[in-house]
Each structure stands twice: as C-alpha cells, then as structure tokens.
Amino acid sequence: MLGNFVRTTYKVNRRHFHKSRQLNEEFENPIFRTFRILRDDIQLKNRPKNRIKSQDRSFPRHADIVIVGGGAIGSSIAYWLKEKSNYDGVKVVVLEKDPTYKKCSTALSVGGLRQQFSLAENIQMSLYGAEFLRTLKKRFGPDADVNFHPHGYLLLANEEGAPLLEDNNKLQRELGAVNVLLTKEKLKERFPYMDVSDVALGCLGLEKEGWFDPWSLLTLLKNGAKQLGAQYVTGEAVDFLFEEKSSIMVQGVDQGTYEGTNTLVVKLPNEDKCREIKFALCIIAAGCESAEVAKLARIGIGPGMLSIPLPIEKRKRYVYSFNCQGNPPSINTPMVIDHSGAYFRRDGLGGSFIAGRSPDPENEPPTDNMDVDYSYFDETVWPLIAKRVPAFNAVKVTGAWSGFYEYNTFDMNGIIGPHPYFLNMYIASGFSGHGIQQAPAVGRAVAELILDGRFQTIDLTRLGFDRLIVDKPMYEVGII
C-alpha cells in the first residue's frame, strides 16, 4: 500500500519535478523530498575526488597556501600540492592577475627542453621535465599532449669553449642524460647543411631533449590543479598586512617579536575596494614581477635580512619566425645553439624556423613595452645563423614576438624555497630562460618542502634564498 503510494506520488511529482523545485521547494512532497536528498547524497559520495569543481566557489577569505602567479611555475606548485596532499588535504588558492596570460613568460616561451646545463640541479630538473612529459597521459588522461618534438639540442663550441662543453657533457651523462660529443668531422657528416669551419666540438642530445608547446603544458597543469580542488582567483596581489608575532625560533627562550604577515591584499578587476586573503603560507611565483611582489612583503626594503632584494628583473627577448626560401635543413634538425649565442630550430614544416639571440648585457632593450626590434634580426641574428647554415642566406621573416625572461641577476638560476626571515613565505622564481622545462620539477620540489618538510627527490637546497645572504652564487654557464 505504502509502496503504491510512493510510486504514484513519485510518478506525479516527476512530471513537475523541475518546475516545482524551481518554483518552491517548500511545497515538495515530503516523500519525494526524501528521495531527492538521498539521491543527491549518493551522487555527492560517488563524485570522483578529482572532479571537485572549484571555479564556482566565491572569493576565498582564507587559504592554507596562497600562490601569487598562475603561470607554469605557480600552476605546477598548485598541482603538486593538491596531488601530494591527497586532493582535499590542503586549501590552495592561486592568484593570477591576467587569466589570458598574454604577457607572461610561459605563453611566450619557445618551449625548449635540454639537459645541456652545467649545474647538477638544472640537469636533474630537466631530466625530470622529460620524464613528466613522457608520462603525461598517465597523469592527465589520454588526450594530454604537449606536442613534444624529440629532435634534441645541438650545442656548438669553438676552440675556447670546447673543454667546458666536454666537462659539462661528462656531468650530464653521469646524471642520466643521453648526449654525445661530435667532432668537427662528425658534425660535417651528420649535418651537411651546416658550415662548421669555426666549430671545434658539438654536443647533441640523443634522447630526452627537444621542444614542446608551453601553452599546452600550462593548460594541463592549471586544469589538473583545478580538478584536484585548487581555486584560481583572478586578481592582483597589491599588498601584505603585517602584525607583530612572537618569535618561535628557539623553544622556551623568549626571542621577542618580529613583524610577520598572514594577510594578502588583493585587487579584483572591476572592484574599487580591495579584498583580503588570510593565509598560513604564501608562495611568490610571479615570474618577472616576483621582485615587486617580494617588495610588498618588505623583501628588499626592510631592515636586516629583509634588506636583500629578490634579484629578479625583466629582460626582453625577441623571437623571429622565418621561412627558408632555398633548400631548408632537414626535418630532424635539432635546436641548434651556436657558440655566438644565436639559436634556431624548426617550427612546423615547409621550411619554417624560429631564431633568436639574447642581447649583449650592455645593449639590453627597454622593458616598458613589448615592441619587437626587427633590425636586431637583420643586423645581429640573421648574419650569425646564415653563417652557420648557408641556406639561411635566403629567408623571409614571417613574424616575431617578444617576451620577458624572469632574469636572476645574481647567478641566472631559479630561487626556490623559503625566505629566511619569514616563517611562511616561499619563493619560486628567477629561472632566467629555462623555467618552462623545470616547472614540473620545481612544483614537485616545493610541494615536498612544504608537505614533507624536506626535498625528497631532487635536492635543491643550494638554490635557496640563503645563497644570496652568504653571497654564494650558483652560476649556470648554459644560459641562452
């Protein structure tokens, strides 16, 4: 009897379900309401953890961890924090002022991946970058793809640079890179379209090197982080609020007080009034603007340890696209880094290439605009690459763009880890032209440091902020 009643009521109500629910849930039949609540409950329980939709949550007034900057580095950190903390463990908020990413380094990068560095940490991070790209589908699903071109890098050295190339190659191979040294004769054999008359030695990456689409990597990391529950907020970090806190450096000993911060002030687009996010930990991953964000936290303008600035500056780099009008170098041409500093690589098919060269330090272009200087191609880049590949004497420039390196003026390497003054402020920036390939490793390393209390996979201790205080630069010679 009761069963019939339920069925009848359910049938009747089902017809009007959506309407009645919209009109007024108060008048809903109590039995049907029970069914609805039970159904919603079951759906909620069965919802896969990695499907938590965070985009529609409103402005977060607090977070366990707030990351300033949602480029490749910030998004990788967010992804790894959520992945390592079992999705729900830690509330992660990523603050990104420009969700179109039109000026950020990640979107304007040329996406090169190589192990041909001089510093062990850089080699190890890029080895992991290659591993991460190789296993993308396992991590992000069958459609995950960053269009990796595994054609390697070819670094060319003259007589003077050859011993260093040899030393670096030794270290790279010891750490797991698969690079081979090529004499002038071997280079001629392998790359007949190149003039190597002024080259003494080359180093070619046979595996795990090439280039990929940085935008696709950013999208995977960002969507991956969101699916695991990280919340992305469009807004600009404009200040930190400070308050006196008691120092807990030595237990039982009164260490006095220090000025700490747990509050980030955020300017939202289309709102005059700023909002505040309380955080337990803040990570500065704001690319070439990291020093400005650090300054908001008094890094570089405060007393004592705070007087040391984050040495990260914008450095404008031009990338030129061109079409080779004659007989172009073969389809498996690697990314070639000439000893003059000029580089080129294929960009698609049909004789299309890109090329560039970092300007000499005394001729750094202005960074208050993103204009491209085409004369720099004509007068500097073109002669160098046309000397190397005579077929490039006939090229047609098809486009160009500029982007900013987040350039670490201290030693041209990433600064990764906590700031020594604050107990709750981390930095992950300053990668000086090699950050996109290191983003997966940096995200994982920062998550380890925060969640496990120490680096577990690659020890990046030497790349911490402390090296600035003790004035111990970690120079990387392989900067392009």
Ligand X SMILES: Cc1cc2nc3c(=O)[nH]c(=O)nc-3n(C[C@H](O)[C@H](O)[C@H](O)COP(=O)(O)OP(=O)(O)OC[C@H]3O[C@@H](n4cnc5c(N)ncnc54)[C@H](O)[C@@H]3O)c2cc1C
Interface residue with ligand X among 13, 32, 63, 71 (CB under 6 A) is 71
Stretch of 38-46, 198-206, 247-255, 285-293 contacting ligand X, by CB under 6 A: 285-293
Q: Give the three-class secondary structure for 185.
A: helix
Stretch of 187-195, 251-259, 287-295, 447-455 contacting ligand X, by CB under 6 A: 287-295
- Contacts by 82-87, CB closer than 8 A, 24 or more apart: 82/225, 82/228, 82/229, 82/230, 83/224, 83/228, 83/447, 84/444, 84/447, 84/448, 84/451, 85/447, 85/451, 87/49, 87/50, 87/52, 87/228, 87/229
Stretch of 7-15, 22-30, 284-292, 415-423 contacting ligand X, by CB under 6 A: 284-292
Residue 420: alpha-carbon gap to chain centroid: 23
104 near ligand X, rule: CB under 6 A? yes
CA-CA-CA-CA torsion sign (26, 31, 32, 33): positive
Nearer to ligand X, 417 or 435 (CB): 435
347 near ligand X, rule: CB under 6 A? no
Residues 277/266, Cβ–Cβ less than 8 Å: yes
Interface residue with ligand X among 433, 440, 443, 478 (CB under 6 A) is 433
Nearer to ligand X, 178 or 296 (CB): 296
Q: Minimum distance between the CB of residue 36 and ligand X, rounded to whole angstroms? A: 41
Residues 411/476, Cβ–Cβ less than 8 Å: yes
- The contact pattern for ligand X, residues 301-330, with x = CB under 6 A and - = no contact, is ----------------x-x-----------
96 near ligand X, rule: CB under 6 A? yes
73 near ligand X, rule: CB under 6 A? yes
DSSP state of 380: I
282 near ligand X, rule: CB under 6 A? no
Nearer to ligand X, 13 or 121 (CB): 121
For residue 274, give every residue at least 6 positions away whose Cβ sits within 8 Å of its Cβ, in sequence order, or none: 238, 239, 265, 266, 267, 268
Nearer to ligand X, 98 or 364 (CB): 98
Question: What's the token pair of residue 294?
Answer: 């650090």
Interface residue with ligand X among 110, 144, 384, 395 (CB under 6 A) is 110
- The contact pattern for ligand X, residues 187-226, with x = CB under 6 A and - = no contact, is ----------------------------------------
How far is CA 10 from each of CA 21, 133, 351, rounded to the nearest angstrom? 14, 51, 67
Using alpha carbons only, give the angle 252, 257, 258 rounded to the nearest 5 degrees.
Answer: 130
Q: Minimum distance between the CB of residue 104 and ligand X, rounded to whole angstroms? A: 3
Interface residue with ligand X among 293, 308, 310, 337 (CB under 6 A) is 293
Interface residue with ligand X among 229, 403, 417, 440 (CB under 6 A) is 403
Residue among 127, 196, 429 nearest 294 (CA): 429
448 near ligand X, rule: CB under 6 A? no
413 near ligand X, rule: CB under 6 A? no
Q: Minimum distance between the CB of residue 308 and ligand X, rounded to whole angstroms? A: 20
Interface residue with ligand X among 109, 179, 227, 261 (CB under 6 A) is 109
Q: Give the three-class secondary structure for 260.
A: strand
Interface residue with ligand X among 404, 407, 426, 465 (CB under 6 A) is 404
Q: What b/e string do you get for 137-147 counting C-beta neighbours within 10 Å, with b at 16 or more?
A: eeebeeebebe
Q: Minimum distance between the CB of residue 164 and ligand X, rounded to whole angstroms? A: 21
The rounded radius of gyration (Å) of the Cα atoms in the chain is 27
Q: Cα–Cα distance between 370 and 103 in angstroms, integer?
A: 9
Q: Is 331 exposed, middle or buried (0-12, 13-18, 19+ CB in 10 A)?
A: exposed
Residues binding ligand X (CB under 6 A): 68-74, 95-98, 101, 104-106, 108-112, 236-237, 285-289, 293, 317, 319, 403-406, 429, 431, 433-437
